[in-house]
Structure 1
Amino acid sequence: MKYLLVLAVVMVAVYVWRQNRRADIEAQRPEPPRQPPKAPQTPSLMVTCLHCGTHLPPAEAAKGHLGWYCGDEHRRLHGDRAA
């Protein structure tokens, strides 16, 4: 019984020693450099296809006399001609 008590005391001592050592190692570890917060992005202009309602940038849209379309096929189906 005496040996079990000594073993338990040694195990507790090793546990406490390892926890303190782990805390020391964490304290010595350098913090990673903090990155500055990103600036919010400005929203880009989007147009809506008059035929199907799809939103897309004007550079990818087809312009008609009545408005914007997602492609030449929808401009033709809507009865519009090219601008």
Structure 2
Amino acid sequence: MKYLLVLAVVLIAFYIWRNNRLTDRSDAAPPKASPRKPNTPAIMVACLECGTHLPDTEAVRGRDGVYCSLEHQRQHEANAH
């Protein structure tokens, strides 16, 4: 019987301790969100060989324009001459 009483006291103490911890955390001010830079749209270009659109930063530059890959650059420049 005394073990049941000790268990009940321990459970009540744990419950009180846990609830106090949760309320202390919720009273703290939330962290301020840092202002984000707005996303700028990527400049898109079309491959001269296949017409696929891709970001300008990923394009392969050639004599005649831009391509999606080195293979398409070679094909287009070989067919042009």
Aligned length: 75
Q: Which has the larger radius of gyration?
A: 1
TM-score (norm 2): 0.58
Quote the offset at 1:46 in angstroms: 1.1
Superposition pairs of residues 1-83 of structure 1, within 5 angstroms: 1=1, 3-50=2-49, 52-53=50-51, 55-56=53-54, 57=56, 60-64=60-64, 68=65, 70=67, 71=70, 73-77=74-78, 79-81=79-81
Kindly provide the amino acid, as one letter, of the partner of residue 73 in structure 1.
R
User: Please, which runs of 5 or more residues in structure 1 have no aligned partner?
Assistant: none
> What RMSD in Å do the two structures reach over aligned CA positions?
3.0
Point out the structure with the larger helix share: 2
Q: Percent identity?
A: 19
Structure 2 counterpart SS, 1:31: coil
